[in-house]
């Protein structure tokens, strides 16, 4: 029982960087901008954040630096795509590659150099609670913030006027424009805020979960974050669930590696990614037109619940995602 609690706590901690990255991507995509540079941004954020923290010997400054790097990459994406009208997909993809290579090049001096990390901060009293304390309250400030980020983003998107505007930008920018919203400026803002969160996700790896820096330190996490946002249907809670699911798969793979020594380690490293793809494919299959037609031909008693389940699972992307808005 205690081991399970420790494992659950480890899952919550391991998911923290993904939470920051996916919530950042979510903000950006909800406003209609798809930031494909995530993988490069996380890598540069990890490298930059670690270097800043190492040089200044200050973890908060490290996170600040990582946030700035993420914001700067998002700004480049915005200028090229929103202002100059280039394809968001192409620009984002190139930025991802650039970020990956640049982090290897610039980060060479700090490879495997020991550096500062986020200090352990159990919450007094709560940490001593049985089970719950172990799962939730024996982490550091970063992990606690990741717990708070999800409800905050959810509240912002669905319970504030600001959130309504952001969602309108992603669904139908022309409607937002008709209501007097400065569409491009707001999209810049959301994309840059989102980028800062993605940068923080990078520093969360290098200053906490995988302390230090090495070649391609966080490779692949950005792509996984993008996939989780799609799988989560652009809904904060479901996206968070996806992050925790992925972290859990990673932990399970790690544990199995010990118990099943005969299986090559690569299998366990790849397994979470493959499982994610399977889940994504399943979700999309269930929501395809053919599946909907099947559902329509089910007996009436079954049809209602199944249709409801599918409509819950299948969520369409923001309608204007990736599209440029030109004022008339």
Partner 1 sequence: MEIAVTNLTKTFGSLRANDGLSLRFASGKIHGVLGENGAGKSTLMKLVSGFLQPDAGQLAFDGQPVRLRGPGDALQAGVGMVHQDPLDVPGFTALENLLCAAPRRAFPSRAMARTTLTTMAQRLGFTLAPDTPVGAMTVGQRQQLEIVRLLACGARTLILDEPTTGITAAQAHALFDALRQLAADGNTVLFVSHKLDEVAALCDTVSVLRTGQLVGEQLPMPQPQQRLLELMFGERIVQASGQALLLAGVSVSEPQGLPVVQPIQDERSSEASPTRPLVWQLEQVTAREGMVRLRNVDLRIPQGRVIGLAGLDGSGQQILLRLLAGRLHPDSGRILINGVDMTRARTRTYREAGIEYLPADRMRDGIVGALSLTDHFALLQPAGITVDRQVAAQAAREAIAAYEIKATPITPLIALSGGNQQRAMLALVPDACRGLACEQPTRGLDVASAQGIWQRLQARCATGCSVVFASADLDELMAYSDEILVFFAGEMSAPLPRATLTGARLAELIGGVGFERSAS
Binding site for partner 1 (CB under 8 A): 161, 164-165, 167-168, 171-172, 174-182, 296, 319, 327-328
Q: Write down the least CB distance from residue 302 to partner 1, Å.
A: 17
Distances (CA, A) of 216 to 162, 195, 209: 37, 19, 15
CB atoms within 10 A of CB 175: 13
Which of residues 58 and 323 has its CB atom nearest to partner 1 in the complex? 323
Which of residues 265 and 311 has its CB atom nearest to partner 1 in the complex? 311
Which of residues 113 and 319 has its CB atom nearest to partner 1 in the complex? 319
Name the residue among 181, 177, 186 with its Cα closest to residue 82: 186
Name the residue among 39, 49, 5, 36 with its Cα closest to residue 210: 49
The crossing angle, in degrees rounded to 10, of helices 16-30 and 38-56 is 130
Which of residues 180 and 264 has its CB atom nearest to partner 1 in the complex? 180
Which of residues 108 and 175 has its CB atom nearest to partner 1 in the complex? 175
* CB-based contact 46:203 (threshold 8 Å): yes
How far, in Å, CA of 216 to CA of 52, rounded?
18
Name the residue among 48, 6, 227 with its Cα closest to residue 135: 6
Residue by residue, DSSP assigns 311-328 as HHH--PPPTTTT------
């Amino acid at each position: 029982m205690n081991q399970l609690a420790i494992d659950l706590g480890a899952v919550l901690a391991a998911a923290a960087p993904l939470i920051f990255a996916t919530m950042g991507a979510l903000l950006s995509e909800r406003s209609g901008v798809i930031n494909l540079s995530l993988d490069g941004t996380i890598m540069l954020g990890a490298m930059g954040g670690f270097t800043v923290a190492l040089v200044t010997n200050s973890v908060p400054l490290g996170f600040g630096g990582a946030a700035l790097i993420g914001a700067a990459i998002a700004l480049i994406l915005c200028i090229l795509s929103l202002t100059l009208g280039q394809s968001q997909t192409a620009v984002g993809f190139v930025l991802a590659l650039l970020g990956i290579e640049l982090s290897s090049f610039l980060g060479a001096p700090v490879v495997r150099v020991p550096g500062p990390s986020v200090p352990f901060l159990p919450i007094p009293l709560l940490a001593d609670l049985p089970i719950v304390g172990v799962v939730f309250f024996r982490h550091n400030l970063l992990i606690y913030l990741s717990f708070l980020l999800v409800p905050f983003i959810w509240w912002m998107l669905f319970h504030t006027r600001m959130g309504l505007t952001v969602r309108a930008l992603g669904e139908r920018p022309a409607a937002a424009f008709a209501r007097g919203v400065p569409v491009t400026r707001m999209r810049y803002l959301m994309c840059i805020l989102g980028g800062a969160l993605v940068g923080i996700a990078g520093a969360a790896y290098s200053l906490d979960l995988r302390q230090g820096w090495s070649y391609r330190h966080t490779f692949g996490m950005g792509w996984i974050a993008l996939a989780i946002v799609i799988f989560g249907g652009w809904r904060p809670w479901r996206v968070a669930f996806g992050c925790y699911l992925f972290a859990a798969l990673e932990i399970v793979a790690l544990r199995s590696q010990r118990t099943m020594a005969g299986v090559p380690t690569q299998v366990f490293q790849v397994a979470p990614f493959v499982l994610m793809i399977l889940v994504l494919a399943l979700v999309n299959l269930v929501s395809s037109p053919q599946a909907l037609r099947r559902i329509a031909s089910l007996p009436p008693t079954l049809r209602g619940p199944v249709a409801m389940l599918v409509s819950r699972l299948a969520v369409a992307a923001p309608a204007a995602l990736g599209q440029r808005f030109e004022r008339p």
